[in-house]
Structure 1
């Protein structure tokens, strides 16, 4: 097999393994529920050893948590456990991503807009999480509101993977990328341990 074909096969295998690992981490919260994330938007970063590969790994974990929550019924233990895990994950991921990646990208005039857009969407998602936490999980409207959060978040990470990460990578060195991953790992662990479940009804739809 030609060398290029071998490299492509290896990259595809790494991407599949990274996705499977991310889903398995989500499944550990509620092993009896399925995680139907299906196909995901095309990205060259899945399985990479740098910051972008690490961020996509988290994204796949979040996709699985979102899918599993949709499988729950009413105000159940599984729904509560999964929603709490999702909230802590998204809060920690956003804070660590902003420190490790976007704080540097903001300093480059050519990528400032991408960074600002991503950070603004983090705030929007945080508001949606607080609104859901403040509402009755057993109510008929809870899953409808949850569906809005899911759509918003999937849109956000698709933009990151297909546009914002691509633009940012062009302005970062391999040393930058490795350093950013280390910062992300350290920051996320601390942020997740300290994350609080906020409850605040959102007044606008």
Structure 2
């Protein structure tokens, strides 16, 4: 019975996250497929909130793939994705990774997560600077999607699990207080930057 209730909670959390993305473009299909198993999906606490954001991001990525050319819908979805990813990363860094960095046992994967946030932000700026109607844009977008899905899979299955074991009750309280507040403020301030990423 408890396991069935847990599955229902997970399914509801995922459906709610997808519905938030779908509200941007209700006519588009959302094909996110299966998602990695995580102990946090459907959890009302902060790690569950982070995973709910990830599911929304998965839906936005899938919806962008359903669009054509430089359409108004593609532009609107991409702008929402940029604002969401930037706000989520900044709030996550302030709420979670700032605490995790203080612990020598978890510093390395906190640094890894933060460096991936920067990589993803650079990829978004590169995409924003390019012609959305070109086939090259879609190839670059596919690269962003692959990078982001890899990043959040690592967070959900490894980094959050390790962090939760090491965080104190005080740390968790800080996370609860900071994440939602910071995400809202960061999203309001987020800008779509346009900068071609030169190959290194």
Alignment of 1:1-205 (within 5 A): 6-174=1-169, 176-204=171-199
Q: What is the rounded CA distance, in whole Å, between the counterparts of 2:106 and 2:184 in structure 1?
A: 27
Distance 1:174 1:20 in 2: 30
State how far apart, in whole Å, the 2-side matches of 1:179 and 1:16 are: 28
The answer to whether the 8 A contact 1:134-1:200 is kept is yes
Report SS of the residue matched to 1:141.
helix
Q: Which runs of 4+ in 1 moved over 6 A?
A: none
Can you give the 5+ residue segments of structure 2 that lack an aligned partner in the other structure?
none
In the TM superposition, residue 178 of structure 1 has moved relative to its aligned partner by: 4.1
How far is 1:171 from its partner?
0.7
Distance 2:138 2:169 in 1: 42
Contact 2:99 2:171 in 1 (8 A): no
Mapped partners of 1:147, 1:73: distance in 2: 14
Cα 1:34/1:174, change in 2 over 3 Å: farther
TM-score, length-scaled by structure 1: 0.95
Q: 1:174 to 1:21 in 2, by over 3 A?
A: farther
Deviation at 1:181, TM superposition (A): 2.4
TM-score by length of 2: 0.97
- State the alpha-carbon separation in 1 of the partners of residues 112 and 35 from structure 2: 22
Q: Is the contact between residue 51 and residue 178 of structure 1 (CA under 8 Å) also seen in structure 2?
A: no
Q: Any stretches of 5+ residues in structure 1 without a counterpart? A: 1-5
Could you say what secondary structure the match of 2:32 adopts?
Answer: coil
SS in 1 for 2:166: coil
